[in-house]
Amino acid sequence: MELICLICTPLLAALIIGAMVFMNYKKIPLKLLRRILAVLIVPICFYRYMIEREAVFGVRGLNMYSPFGGNIPQTVFSILLIWFTFSALFSTLLDAFFEYKTLRNLSRFFGTPILILDLIFFKTYAIAVIGKDAFEVFDVRMVLMCIEIALALAVIAAPIIEEGFTLPKRSEVGRLLYSLPFALLVIMPTYVPQALIGFQDPSLKIEGLTPEHRLVLYFSIIIPFCIYHVFKNKSYELKRFVLIYLSLALMWTYISYWTLPDWASPINWPLHLCNTAMFLIPLCLCFKWEKLFYFCLFINVMGAVFAMILPNTSSSANIIENNIVNFWVNHYPAFFMPILIIALKIFKRPKFREWVYSLIVFTVYFIAVLFLNAWLSNYGDVDFFFLNSDFIVDKLGKWAEDTRDIVWSFKVNDLTLTFYPLYQALFYLVYVVITVGIWFLFALLFSTWDAAEDRRLREKDYKRMKKELNEFLQGRSIHEPATGDSSPRLILRHFSKRYGNNKHYSVDDVSFEVKGGEIFGFLGPNGAGKSTIIKSVVGIQTITSGSIEICGYDCEKQSVQAKQNLGFVPDHYALYENLTGREYINYIADLYQINKEYRDMTIDKYVNLFQLTGSFDNQMKTYSHGMKQKITIMAALVHDPKLWILDEPLTGLDPTSIFEVKEAMKEHAAKGNIVFFSSHIIDVVEKICDRIAIIKKGKLRACIKVSELEEKGIDLEQFYLSVINEEDAPEIGETESCPIEAAAQV
């Protein structure tokens, strides 16, 4: 019989491979054929697995109840062979559906040797599964074992036929080696610990919050964090695959507790709350059933936590006995898998609507098990979700036990249906209330998690930026200008800005320089890019490419030093309106570390200039628009910046206020500073500006001295309109590079 299996299995594999090659020649894709064969493996392996438990299932400590008697090495080898065969079959099955190099290598370079070992040591393999009389009587499991090995070998061979055989690269070998322990551990049969280790000290208990129990609970929290940190930066599809692999493998390990006769009786079905998680989580991941998943998140997690804290296992059981291991294989994934799925962003974080989904599914489940308990109690002991027993109330005291005194029974044909309406209604309501607590707990955990992750990312960015800054400064202090001295100047070098993944540049390759003592007007139609450039200069938004320099400081790499040299008046200001004008200006002065003597002198100067004496100590919410605009200007000037930027500063101001602002601009420039402002009021620009720049559709169209236009008799308004209205207007630079006559013709 052994020889027949050794001959027939490779022959069957060869026939299947030949049939695949032939069908591929007939234009049927090998990928499809592999998936068909992989699907065939599932029912064959499941049926073979469930007919009867493996002969090594009851082994204790290698020398008790072994089908190999006292031959310990053979017992060890057989247990490992069964375990590794499950991993080989599982990896091969998933390799047909998920195209990952590590999975392919796992199937090819781990699965193939294991399957070949199954053939070489088929007698040992068969005895370990069927028993010591495996070759004395016919057993269908032996035939099924041969078929599943042949099918798996064919599935592994298919990509080799199509792509050829290649050895893995060194990096791929590394990934294979650290993936292999994970692949083996998650599908380890639950009887392996008791078989390899045997009985332990009976005083060791994983219950009652003993030291051993607490240790298990601690590791239950640590392990998901480790998995998260390994995969958090991977792609969505890879994270989803890893979780599918994990959930399916754990489900397969879990169902090893059952045999076909167990499945035949509804009394033995895994319908306890945490049992359902073993089947629902893989389904939700495979088919992306998001609404059903929130039942697992809100309901299964809570049930699993209670079960892990108060395990309903036999107090006399060995700590590593099969049913103890199976209990934790069931409840532990029900606890951590839904949380890990949310943490890795496979499904979105829950909102109120998702909580409602979970309650709807829970209500359906609760009613179903309520009637199943009542119906199946006529055929034996059944207690799905502890709705028929006193397991829960026994831990809460007499008051809880008394709720079961109210019983409602009635007959349906020959069946007696029994309910405990008070106990079961309270059970449902309490569970619903606890889900509200779970909601708030998740919200707290997620916010804490986000804060920690945000801090980690900030620290990572800080280290990266610090390294880049040190390379940029080349040994200079960060307080030293990157280029030249700290004299007033603003330089844009090939500055471009693009938002997000937009292919269109809001500002494209703009370069100009503004020197101290200048009032520089920045003109252009709405949407031309004026505010985009200003916001990048002041550091409100990032730079896509190019550079901006303020007083010798690079705006990106020396942002603090650059900002210390500028004052900004935005087009839409935001003030702390419950403060008085004086309190607000002092607050801004504190930010810039301005000494009291200088700030008081500056404040008095601008209070008088802007005629705010009578209202400066009132709350700003009582101010008019013009007064608030003046406060914004004072805040920008309190530290006497070398660069003063104003974005549409005159909008909505009365003539007197406009005059006051213009006087402040002239005075600031006269001290050798820069005044840079954008405006649509051409008359004001023409009267006070030394130079102007015109931007259109993100391109700089002109940069020219106002005095040169006046010398040639060119009106600024007409010049502006001609530049803006000309579709293909050339870019116009300074008069040194572009004669004024050419500028006038545009």
Do 513 and 489 touch, CB atoms closer than 8 A? yes
109's CB contacts (< 8 A; 6+ apart) are: 168, 176
* Region 101-119 average pLDDT: 92
* Contact in structure between 693 and 529 (CB atoms under 8 Å): no
Please, which residues bridge with residue 157 across strands?
A: none
- What confidence score (pLDDT) does residue 367 get? 93
- CA dihedral sign, ordered 598, 601, 607, 608: negative
Burial class (CB in 10 A: 0-12, 13-18, 19+), 617: exposed
Q: What is the pLDDT of residue 81?
A: 95
580 contacts 616 by C-beta, under 8 angstroms: yes
Helices 273-287, 322-343: crossing angle, 10 deg rounding: 40
pTM (2 decimals)? 0.69
> Are 311 and 327 a contacting pair, CB within 8 Å?
yes
Write the DSSP symbol of residue 403: G
Amino acid at 478: I
Give the residue ranges of DSSP H helices in 26-67: 30-51
Question: How far is Cα 550 from Cα 98, in angstroms, rounded to an integer?
Answer: 53
The pLDDT of residue 744: 38
Examine the pLDDT at 699 and tell me if it is beyond 60.
Answer: yes
Structural contact between residues 719 and 726, judged by C-beta atoms closer than 8 angstroms: no
Return the closest-CA partner of residue 333 out of 355, 354, 303: 303
Nearest to 568 by CA among 494, 650, 514, 632: 632
pLDDT recorded at residue 17: 87
Identify which has the larger pLDDT, 205 or 89.
89
Confidence band of 438 (pLDDT split at 50, 70, 90): confident
Q: What pLDDT is attached to residue 405?
A: 86
Q: Residue 43: is its pLDDT beyond 80?
A: yes
pLDDT given at position 746: 37
- Give the model's pLDDT for residue 727: 63
**Pick from 578, 562, 586, 579: which is nearest to 638 by CA?**
586
Given this model, what pLDDT does residue 730 score? 46
Strands 674-678 and 691-696: unpaired
Sheet (strand 674-678) strand order? 566-569, 643-647, 674-678, 519-523, 691-696, 699-705
* In 63-192, beta strands by DSSP E: none
Per-residue pLDDT at 735: 38
Q: Is 423 buried (19+), middle (13-18) or exposed (0-12) by CB count in 10 A?
A: buried
Angstrom CA distances, 453 to 228, 233, 446, 463, stand at 12, 12, 10, 15
Residue 79 pLDDT exceeds 60: yes
Portion of the chain with pLDDT greater than 90, in percent: 33
Half-sphere exposure of residue 1: CA atoms within 13 angstroms, side-chain side: 14
Q: How many C-beta atoms surround the C-beta of residue 33 within 10 A?
A: 20
Residue 315: the pLDDT is: 65
In this structure, is the dihedral angle defined by the CA atoms of residues 609, 613, 617 and 622, taken in order, positive or negative?
Answer: negative
Q: Is 389 exposed, middle or buried (0-12, 13-18, 19+ CB in 10 A)?
A: middle
Nearest CA to 518 out of 694, 644, 695, 689 is that of 689
What pLDDT, in 10s, does the model give residues 647-676? 888 877 788 888 888 888 999 999 999 999
- Write out the DSSP string of 217-278: HHHHHHHHHHHHHHHTTS-HHHHHHHHHHHHHHHHHHHGGG--HHHHHSGGGS--SHHHHHH
Give residue 331's Cα distance to chain centre: 25
Question: What are 314-349's pLDDT values in tens digits?
Answer: 766 778 888 888 889 989 999 999 989 998 999 988
Count of residues in the chain = 746
Tell me how far apart the alpha carbons of residues 564 and 601 are, in angstroms, rounded to a whole number: 20
5-19: per-residue pLDDT in tens?
A: 778 888 888 898 888
**3-state SS class at 454:** helix
CA distances from 459 to 521, 558, 559, 721 (A): 40, 18, 17, 49
pLDDT at 385 over 80: yes
Give the pLDDT confidence score for residue 316 in this predicted structure: 67
For the segment 98-107, the average pLDDT, to the nearest whole number, is: 90
As a whole number, mean pLDDT of residues 34-42 equals: 91
**CA-based nearest residue to 737, from 707, 703, 710, 713:** 703
| Residue 454 binned pLDDT confidence (cut-offs 50, 70, 90) | confident
pLDDT at 728 (0 to 100): 52
Residue whose C-alpha is closest to residue 343's, from 186, 233, 436, 241? 233
CB proximity list for 144: less than 8 A, separation 6 or greater: 44, 45, 47, 48
> What are the pLDDT digits (tens) for 604-648?
998 988 888 889 999 999 998 888 988 999 999 999 999 999 888
- pLDDT level of residue 286 (50, 70, 90 thresholds): very high
Closest C-alpha to 746, from 18, 734, 737, 725: 725
Provide the percentage of residues in the chain whose pLDDT is more than 70. 97
Contacts of 244 (CB under 8 A, 6+ apart): 94, 98, 282, 285, 286
Amino acid letter at 672? Answer: G
Cβ 87 vs Cβ 183: under 8 Å = yes
Q: How far is Cα 443 from Cα 428, in angstroms, rounded to an integer?
A: 23
CA dist 364 and 464 (Å) reads 52
Dist. CA 60–CA 57, nearest whole Å: 9
Indicate if the pLDDT at residue 380 is higher than 90: no
Q: 310: which DSSP letter?
A: S
Q: pLDDT value at position 36?
A: 92
Structure tokens at 117: 């070992």
Q: What is the DSSP letter of 562?
A: H
pLDDT in tens, 547-563: 999 998 988 888 888 99
Helices 655-670 and 596-609, interaxial angle, to 10°? Answer: 140
Statement: residue 686 has pLDDT above 80: yes
How sure is the predictor about 238, in pLDDT bands with cuts at 50, 70 and 90?
A: very high
Mean pLDDT of all residues in the chain? Answer: 86
Query: How far is Cα 56 from Cα 76, in angstroms, rounded to an integer?
Result: 10
Query: Which candidate, 384, 381, 405, 382, places its Cα nearest to that of 393?
Result: 405
Q: How confident is the model at residue 738 (pLDDT cuts 50, 70, 90)?
A: very low
